[in-house]
Structures are given as C-alpha cells and as structure tokens.
A and B are shown apart, each in its own frame.
Chain A
Amino acid sequence: MSESTMKEFKVSAIENGTVIDHIPAKSVFQVIKMLNLENFNDQVLFGTNLESKKYGTKGIIKVSNKFFKSDEVNKIALVAPSATLIEIRNFAVASKTVVQVPNEIVSIVKCFNPNCITNHENIVTQFNVISKDELKLQCLYCEKITDKKTMVIK
C-alpha cells in the first residue's frame, strides 16, 4: 500500500465514529476484545501489520458511530500504550487524544500470583496502578504486583 492510500484508509472511511491508531500490530485483536467490539452491531474496520514510520508496523481500528468514554477506552493503554484516539464527525477529525493508563484496573487483567484467591474463586480482579510508566499493578487482594512481564489479559 502506498503512503497516500494508507492515509486514505486511515481517516476517510467513516463518517462518524472513532479511529484508534498506533496500536502495536500484535495487540490489535486484544484491543478488539478489550473493547468488546466482537459484539458491536455497527461497522468495525481494522487493519494490522500496516507500515508505520514511527513503530515499524502498527494496527488500526475504526468503529462507526461510537464515541468512547475515557475510562471505557483507557484500559487499552495496557497493551497499546501509544494508541491515539481520533474522533471523526462528518468525515473530519474532531479530536485527537493519546490513551492513558487509568489509576485502577478492574476485571481485564489476571493476577500473576498463582496462589491469589482471585485465581481460585469467582472474583472480579481489581488493581491499583502504582506505576504508569513501568506498568505496575498492585492486586487489591493478594497485594502482589503484576507488571508488564507477568501481565496476562483475561
């Protein structure tokens, strides 16, 4: 795909909705799952392993007629820390923001501690984010710290 057709694909395909750009190529399917887009009824377009000057390859997702609330979408920062949210209204870019790791993470991450009660009973996991840069999540239950290396997304 040439540079110009890439641009075309990126921004012009939807009239209203959200484009999530700069997703690491390997995380595209995870983001789709985290945002529950599998069960979304309107149009969802996505591409992965696209060329990116900055990141080598990247993924992109476009969701028609959907505008995310920040706590709804910020959790994707766990797998796509540099993802950009572009809101499109009437084919034009209305706003552009970079996702941010939230202060608390509920339900989407599994506690890395095999002896944590959350891995043995039906419990919604909860973590306090104690470092956003290094991604350190402290389990509200066992108090152990799950980090980038040990993180498994449910």
Chain B
Amino acid sequence: MKKRSLVSINDFTKEEQLSILELAESFEKNPTRKILENHVVATLFFEPSTRTRLSFESAVSRLGGKVIGFTDASSSSVSKGESLRDTIKTVCSYSDLIVMRHPREGSARFASEVSSVPIINAGDGANQHPTQTLLDLYTIKQTQGKLDNLHIAFVGDLKYGRTVHSLVMALCNFNCTFHLVSPLELKLPSSVKIHIKEKNLVYHQYTSIEEIIGSVDILYMTRIQKERFSDPMEYEKIKNAYILRNAMLENTKENLKILHPLPRVNEINEDVDDNHKAYYFEQALNGVYVRQALLARILGVV
C-alpha cells in the first residue's frame, strides 16, 4: 500500500483492508507513537467537515507528524478561482500525503492522477468516503469478533447514503446477510444490489425497523432528509417510522450493536445512548485508530 492513494474502498483488496484493521488494533492499544516525525500531511477541506478533519489531524498528531492545509475553500486560493489541478500540484510539493474532502464527485480520483504524493479521499461529494467504511468494518469486527456470516440491518436513506453503499459493498466480501429497511422512495439502488447478487449473497427489504430488529447483529442507522422526498406529505407520514427508541431494543440479540456515521439529528432517540447496545460514539473514536493505520501504511513507516 506504500505510496498508493485511497480514493474508493475497492482500491484496496479484502486482504489489504483486513491488514489495515489489524494494524489499527495495535494503535488502539498504543495510540501515541512518534513514527511520522519528519512527515507533513496536508488536509485540504474544500468543504467543511469538522468531525472528519479533526479525526485525521488527531491521527497525524498522535504519530508526531505535522499538518498543513485549509479548513474550507473560502479561506484559500480556491475562492480566487484556482483550479483543483493547480491547487493539488502546488500542495503536493509541500507535503508527503494529501487528505482531501471536496464537494464534487470524482475530485479525489482526479487529484490522485495529478498529484505526485498519495491522496486519501475524505469524501468526494456523494461518491466515496473510504475511511468511514474502514472504521465501520473495524467497529463491526471489534463488537462481533468477526466480519463473516453476520446479519446486518441498514436503516433510513439507503438511496442517497454513500456511507451505506460503500459499507454494503465492502461487506459483500464477508458473506453477510443484508436487511434493508427504508421508505419505498429511498430503497438501496440496483447498482449496489448488483454487487450483493454477484457474490450470491442475500438481501431482504422492509419498511419498518420492528420487522427485523429482533434477529440482527448490527443495526446501522442513517438520517432521512426531508429534501429527498418529492412529496413533503410523504415525508411527514413516514418520518416517525425510522426513529429508534430504547423501548424497541427489548427482545433484541444480546450481541446487537447500534452504529451511526454521525452526526445524528433525531433518528436515534437520546434514551438509546445509555443502552449498552449503543455504540456510535465508540465507532467515531475508532476512526482515529483506523486513520493512524492508514497513514502509517501509505507513508511506509510500519
């Protein structure tokens, strides 16, 4: 993986993904190791995403590296109309690796073509966010002890949620069964379902959480945005059906864990937070270990 970019989760094989997860475990045990002294990592956030940026910057700092960059495009030369090509060409001569988030789909792939240093995609529009996928895999493995043969439910906006698309595709390597809970308008696109079928795996579709909550190992919640509905009345009708409340967790499997990419709005009621099955804040923390592992591998220091 040394010197390679990570733009799409499929850029890394299953074995490479697993080796990152394994290395992340060692950073969870011992997060502070000065192995990136003498390294400069650029974080280019063409659109703000405080959570993801802080997670990356924390990962770099704990490894002793330096961070340069900008936190939103309005404070940089981009606002003066500089092309992405020119920004990347300039920044890659100042840094050993570039972490970038950009509002346009395909921007990270393009950057990886013009850059002389590796690119880690921290989100390109609605397309890919591979470090989120890696941290989700890490969290599932951490809570279940394995990635194979699990029953995983995805709830909410399965049509537009890129987090869901990438995670479903990654889990297709692990013989999982997919339980897809969404309003009819927001079902998982066929372009993603094709991957499930290709691997001869099984998915089931539902319109309410109750239908399936009792028999799954992971409940992956996502937010439903009002803007996604052509008819606002339709949203009003269904919105309460996709909110998880603590009472619903009675009679669920003992090993069930609830995940969410965060930030949440109201799709997980706060009364769930104290339940030991709630795991979304731990999930976010795992992002730092996974990013440490990724940075160390790509920069070739481990």
Contacts and interface: CB of A to CB of B under 8 A. Distances in A.
Interface residues of B, number: 18
A117 B105 CA distance: 6
B106 A139 contact: yes
A143 B8 CA distance: 9
The 5 closest A-B pairs by CB, nearest first: A141-B106, A142-B105, A142-B106, A117-B106, A117-B107
A122 B114 CA distance: 12
B39 to A, nearest CB: 28
A116 interface: yes
A141 B105 contact: yes
B94 interface: no
B229 interface: no
A115 B128 contact: no
A122 B113 CA distance: 13
Interface of A: 111, 113, 115-118, 120-123, 139-145
Given A115-B104, A121-B84, A121-B85, A142 B8 contact: no
B127 A143 contact: yes
B103 to A, nearest CB: 8
Interface of B: 8, 83-85, 102-107, 109-110, 124-128, 191
A111 B109 CA distance: 15
Given A141-B107, A142-B105, A142-B125, 7 more contacts: A115-B104, A116-B104, A117-B106, A117-B109, A121-B85, A140-B109, A142-B124
B110 A141 contact: yes
A122 B105 contact: no
Contact of B105 (A113, A121, A123): A113
Contacts of B126: 115
Contacts of A115: 103-105, 125-126
B125 A123 contact: no
B109 A121 contact: no
